[in-house]
Amino acid sequence: MPKTLSALALALWLVLGIALAQPTPAGTSIANQASASYVDSAGQPRTTTSNQVITVVQQVYSLTITPNGTQTSPGQTRTALAGATVYFAYTVSNTGNGTDSVALSTLQDSTTDNFDPTGVTIYRDNNCNGALDAGETPVTSLSLARQGASGSSACVVVAATIPGGTPGGQYANLNLVGTSSGGPSDSDNWARATATTAAALTASKSASPSGAVSPGGTITYTIFGQNTGGSAASGVSVSGLGTGILVRDTIPNGLVVSTLPTGSAGAGTVQIVYTTDGSTWQPLASSNLPLTGNGTVAVGMFIGGSGAFFPQGASYTFSFQATVPNGAAQGTSYTNTAAVQYNNGSQNQTQATNSTTSTVGAAYNVAVGPFGFPAAGASGTYTAGGYTITRSGDTQSIASAYNGQTLFFYHTLRNTGNTPDSFTLSVSGAPTGWSCGFRHADHITPISGPVGPIAPGSDFNFDLVCAVPATYTGSTAVNLTVTATSTNDSSKTDTTQDTVAQVVSGYSVDFARLGTGGDGNPANDNPPAASANPGGAVSFPLEVVNTGVNPDSFNLSAPTLPSGWSVAFYPDANCDGAMDSPTPSPITNTGLVNPGVANKRCYIAVVQIPTGTAPGNNPISFRVDSATDADANTPGIQPVSSDVVSTAINVNLVTGFAFDPDRSGTVTSPGTITYTHNLVNTGNAQATVSIPAVTSAYGWTYQLSTDGSTWSASLSGIAVPSGGSVPVYVRVQVPGGQPIGRSESVTLTANATYPGGGAASDTATVTTTIVGGELSLTKSAVSYVGSSSTVRHPSGAEAFPGDHIVYTVVASNIGTGNLTNVRVSDPLPAYTSFVSVSAAVSGFTGAVTVLYSTNGTSWNATAPSSLPAGSSLYVGVDTDGNGTIDSNDTMPPGASLTLTLRVQVQ
Amino acid sequence: MHPFHWFAAALLLLGSALAQGREEVRLELKAFLVTSLQQEGRTVERLLPALEARPGQVIEYRLEATNTTDRPLSQVALVVPIPTTTRYLENSAQALQREGWVLPEFSFDGGQTYGRPPLKRVVRVVENGKEVRKEVEVKPEEYTHARWVIPQLGPKESVSLRLRAVVR
């Protein structure tokens, strides 16, 4: 509502007051929705709305019939000769808020009058001229529209005949009664019919059009009558004109007569006249026009004549046109009654016509424009939603807007029709993804459905509100066309245009090492590189600064990270770069971050390096990306804002190397024994190993091999991968003639070198003793994948938990004489579980039995099914059949006993 | 490292969700039809759900506002519009008693400006051929909105407001 109103607007306001007095139409929905604005705990302004409540308006019934009258003071009187028919004119109006059916009836006066008229009939007076015209039919009820709508009232005439022979001067009273279908009735509408023998001029009036008139339209009034009395009529003295019969009509207030009236009469001299003071008349000429009705100005027809010059049956007609003001409000009524003045031979008479009521019909129209300028012609600026809105003509514009924000354009709509009207609002031109709607002038409450009803000439302020999606930017102007459409006449529309010249991103983020975020210097954002050992962790203090204009939340990730590495982001509440205590839970999203350096969030990115990681430089990058758009985490789709910092972790070289185990064995002279060792690389890079040759003090030969088939005095270039192992076989060849009991220990040294200069070494000792017996004992191992037959390692150098290892111990009599009491034992290795054992013999003669023992004392021909940890298994060959292994049991030359022990790695 | 922006027009809007916030204040509006009946010689009022009403009948609007959060909210402005097909019933908007009184304010310009009665508007009229500015009082039936501004609404706290309007 403008803070000031012009006089015209005030006048319209007053008219509006009349118009709004009309009851709300039945069926109208009264919708209401509350709203709230507040400041949340984070200091952010917020709004919200309630549910909508709706109340439907019900119908009320009400009617009026005019003119009113009582039996003693009738509303209208008609005089005629006995035997003639008189006509009473009425207007029936529905003053309720819904369509109604009004039943009509007449009531005779049985107490206060002289006679009852006959032939009483109610006719619909279609043209409202107060007379019965051809084609007008009797009615007993009327269907009327609600008050304020076209067709809310209707005219009727009640015909009544004065019985023949009725003496002059006697009268009859007649009442028209109307009853609403909803109950109320109107019954104070008495009229009177009087019998006479003197002159009696009737007077009727019609208005054309008889129904609604339009603003600026013309009403043609016609007054006509006849001498229905028993004598000729005479004139009356009219000031300014002389003696004659005067037909007069006061111009309704506001109507304008611009053309000369016309008229004719069955006798006398006709003259068109007018008065400006209501008493003195003068001839009307074109130069006197226009005449505007003010309650006093009247036009008329003067029928000049002397004596009783207007005979029985003579008639007259007078007609003029009046124009309705352009700004007339719908529902404005122009009620008019004319009269004829004459002398009936004994006294002056004034016979009034029926009243005509012309009501201004509805004219719908609308204007919508920039705030404060519904009819365009706008200028100046205002601020809405944080933006400056520039008005020009019928357009408004924002020079540049940020995405992710809500834009407001204030508007003013004016009902330029002449009746209360409601209007639908629509907007077009919004790009895909924009969400546009309308709100009330409180900038909070959404508008749903039409707005109004709005009084004619009144303004309604509203907002076009558009949420610009976070993903939208563009330098092409967005033109939003707002359209207002009358709900009563959809052809009446108006548009105004809102323009957003460009949309730039409201999202931006700076991700940097601690202390450098948001400083505008991207060169210092990257954290310095760090060094660490495999299995270690590196912390990078970082900070996130929202450098956009919209609050935003960000996802944290490390797009560049070696395989197998992991990273976790820990909030650093006090931004000191040190892990908070207690250690907070790691996060993957920052939560909402308000714009500005003051609202920065700090984090510590902890990168975990797997054990065994190879030495070297590893590029690392950390990233924040806006979580505002739904696809922020979809690969290939970029978020509305993001930032990356890069650094590196240099993994140190770790050397670790073992050459195990020490071995010892016996050998005959001459004889050969082979030991098995392993080179194990526990460093984080491949080791290149060499084993120099060793020299025997006794002329023994030491040979080395990595495959058990190719032997050499020394080894070099053995590649042992990080975490891997390589078997090394040491073969000792003892020449003949060595004394029994001679023993030699030699230390083999394995030297490992690593890329980049690292080195490590380890030794393994082999101790060989010359024995006199001829029992040769060899042991070998094979590891298998699980319990399958797939070989894990041919020498058993590598096995995983659950793998099986099969140890094979072969005892052979390599001498030339029998050996006695031969027992072969093999301990159950630590960290293994017994699976099975078996033994086989060859070279024995006669019946022999393999006996098993778990303690070396008690023997059994059945292999044990279990073996406790830490114990050993014993096998012997019972050759004398006494069930035990003793000195009577012999192993002939060339015979052998093979023990096969299967265990499972724990 | 330069911060950079990515624009992907096909992405969907979420920004408005950030701007709109969550339902931290729950508003429940109810409409009651005010009827009168005689009980023991006295006229008493009875309130019924206002699903229907006739011109001239009185509707009471009740608004219950609840802070659903665990934190206090400040400057909570609760607005109840007065539908254009009704007129505000003078003195029916009740003050809210808290630590101090929260008095209702009214708007006659569609909720743009608020004040406490009597509201005034300036009009230009022509008197003796000269245009003069006059301040006139705005009638309650011209009010378009009522508002209560609560300085602080505590955690989980609720307030209830009411006003009455007559169906035109």
- The whole-angstrom separation of Cα B168 and Cα B165 is 9
End-to-end Cα spacing for chain B: 66
Share of chain A above pLDDT 90, in %: 66
Q: Give A 516-555 residues with CB within 8 A of chain B.
A: 522, 525-526, 547, 550-552
- The whole-angstrom separation of Cα A652 and Cα A532 is 6
Pairing of strands A242-250, A298-304: antiparallel
Question: Scanning the structure block, which residue is given the tokens 């790691």?
Answer: A586
Question: Please, what are the domains in chain A?
Answer: 1-23+60-197 (2.60.40.10), 366-504 (2.60.40.10), 509-651 (2.60.40.10), 653-772 (2.60.40.2910), 773-906 (2.60.40)
- The whole-angstrom separation of Cα A115 and Cα A540 is 116
Q: Give A 390-419 residues with CB within 8 A of chain B.
A: 403-406
pLDDT at residue A840 is higher than 60: yes
pLDDT at residue number A8: 36
pLDDT at residue number A816: 65
pLDDT at residue number A635: 60
- The whole-angstrom separation of Cα B50 and Cα B48 is 6
- The whole-angstrom separation of Cα A690 and Cα A491 is 100
Worst-scoring range by mean pLDDT, A253-257, A318-322, A830-834?
A830-834
Mean pLDDT score, B119-127: 79
Mean pLDDT score, A97-116: 94
Residues B145, A442: C-beta atoms closer than 8 Å: yes
pLDDT at residue A736 is higher than 60: yes
Residues A445, B6: C-beta atoms closer than 8 Å: no
Is residue A293 within 8 A of residue A331, CB to CB? The reply is no
- Residue of A771, A553, A798 lying closest to A667 (CA atoms): A771
A577: Cα separation from own chain's centroid: 39
Q: What is the average pLDDT value for chain A, to the nearest integer?
A: 90
Rg (CA), chain A: 60
pLDDT at residue A1 is higher than 50: no
Rg (CA), chain B: 22
Residue in chain A lying closest to B136 (CA)? A4
Nearest-Cα distance to chain B for A418, in Å, is 18
Q: Which residues of A128-164 are buried (b: 16+ CB within 10 A; e: fewer)?
A: bbbbbeeebeebeebebbbbbbeebbbbbbbbbbbee
Count, in order, helices (H) and strands (E) of chain A: 1, 66
Entry pTM: 0.58
Worst-scoring range by mean pLDDT, A55-64, A186-195, A466-475?
A466-475
Residues A50, B28: C-beta atoms closer than 8 Å: yes
pLDDT at residue number A327: 78
Q: Give A 80-119 residues with CB within 8 A of chain B.
A: 97
Mean pLDDT score, A135-160: 92
The one-letter code for the residue type at B58 is V
The one-letter code for the residue type at A319 is S
Residue A673 Cα distances to A662, A703, A801, angstroms: 14, 11, 30
Determine the 3-state secondary structure of B17 from DSSP.
helix
pLDDT at residue number A579: 94
Residue A364 Cα distances to A371, A454, A780, angstroms: 22, 11, 109
pLDDT at residue A13 is higher than 80: no
CA-CA-CA-CA torsion sign (A243, A249, A255, A258): negative
Other CB atoms within 10 A of residue A842 CB: 11
pLDDT at residue number A21: 62
The one-letter code for the residue type at A38 is Y
A763: Cα separation from own chain's centroid: 74
pLDDT at residue A40 is higher than 70: yes
- The residue that leads in pLDDT, A327 or B52, is B52
The one-letter code for the residue type at A549 is V
Residues of A with CB below 8 A from B19's CB?
Answer: 404-406, 467, 550
Nearest-Cα distance to chain B for A426, in Å, is 20
pLDDT at residue number A564: 93
For residue A252, the 8-state DSSP code is P
What lies within 8 Å, CB to CB, of A536 at 6+ separation is: A609
pLDDT at residue number A444: 84
- The whole-angstrom separation of Cα A318 and Cα A266 is 12
Determine the 3-state secondary structure of A411 from DSSP.
strand
Residue B53 Cα distances to A23, A55, B58, B85, B165, angstroms: 12, 7, 8, 11, 11
What lies within 8 Å, CB to CB, of A70 at 6+ separation is: A188, A190
Question: Scanning the structure block, which residue is given the tokens 């743009």?
Answer: B112
Is residue B84 within 8 A of residue A455, CB to CB? The reply is no
A874, two tokens:
């014993």
Dump the DSSP string for A57-95: EPP---EEEES-B-SSS-S-EEEE-TT-EEEEEEEEEE-
Residues of A with CB below 8 A from B11's CB?
Answer: 469-471, 629-631, 637, 640
pLDDT at residue A632 is higher than 60: no
- The whole-angstrom separation of Cα A201 and Cα B25 is 78
Q: Say what the alpha-carbon torsion angle A572, A576, A578, A580 is, to the nearest 10 degrees.
A: -50
pLDDT at residue A16 is higher than 80: no
Q: What is the pLDDT of residues A273-282, one digit of tens each?
A: 999 999 999 9
pLDDT at residue number A28: 92
Question: Scanning the structure block, which residue is given the tokens 């007069």?
Answer: A248
The one-letter code for the residue type at A234 is S
Mean pLDDT score, B151-157: 93
**Strand positions, DSSP E, A652-773:** 657-660, 663-667, 671-681, 687-691, 701-705, 715-720, 725-734, 743-753, 759-770
- The whole-angstrom separation of Cα A307 and Cα A235 is 7
What lies within 8 Å, CB to CB, of A253 at 6+ separation is: A293, A294, A295, A334
pLDDT at residue B16 is higher than 50: no
A46, two tokens:
């917020």
> Which residue out of A1, A55, A544 would a mutagenesis test of the B interface target, given it has the greatest number of B Cβ atoms within 10 Å?
A55
Alpha helix segments (H runs only) across A376-446: none
- The whole-angstrom separation of Cα B151 and Cα A40 is 12
Q: What is the pLDDT of residues A689-722, one digit of tens each?
A: 999 999 999 999 999 999 988 999 999 999 999 8
pLDDT at residue number A4: 35
Mean pLDDT score, B89-113: 90
Each domain of chain B, given as residue ranges in start order, spans: 23-167
- Residue of A548, A551, A549, A542 lying closest to A517 (CA atoms): A542
* CA within 13 Å, CB half, A585: 4
Dump the DSSP string for A764-828: EEEEEEE-SS-EEEEEEEEEESTTSS-EEETTS----TT-EEEEEEEEEE-SSS-EES-EEEEE-
pLDDT at residue number B27: 96
Mean pLDDT score, A541-556: 93
The ipTM (two decimal places) reads 0.87
End-to-end Cα spacing for chain A: 89
pLDDT at residue B86 is higher than 70: yes
- The whole-angstrom separation of Cα A267 and Cα A233 is 10
Q: Determine phi and psi for A555, rounding to 5 degrees.
A: -90, 145
- Whether the CB of A561 is below 8 Å from some CB of chain B: the reply is no
Cα angle vertex A699, ends A695, A702, to 5°?
50
Q: What is the pLDDT of residues A330-370, one digit of tens each?
A: 778 898 899 999 999 889 999 999 888 888 888 899 999 99
- Whether the CB of A634 is below 8 Å from some CB of chain B: the reply is no
Size of interface A-B (CB pairs under 8 A): 269
- The whole-angstrom separation of Cα A867 and Cα A556 is 56
For residue A288, the 8-state DSSP code is G
Residues B3, A509: C-beta atoms closer than 8 Å: yes
Residue in chain B lying closest to A27 (CA)? B52
Residue A578 Cα distances to A145, A566, A645, angstroms: 82, 19, 19
pLDDT at residue A888 is higher than 90: no
Dump the DSSP string for B98-137: SSSEE--EEESSTTS--BPSSPEEEEEEEETTEEEEEEEE
A388, two tokens:
């400056």
Nearest-Cα distance to chain B for A21, in Å, is 7
- Residue of A78, A62, A87 lying closest to A200 (CA atoms): A78
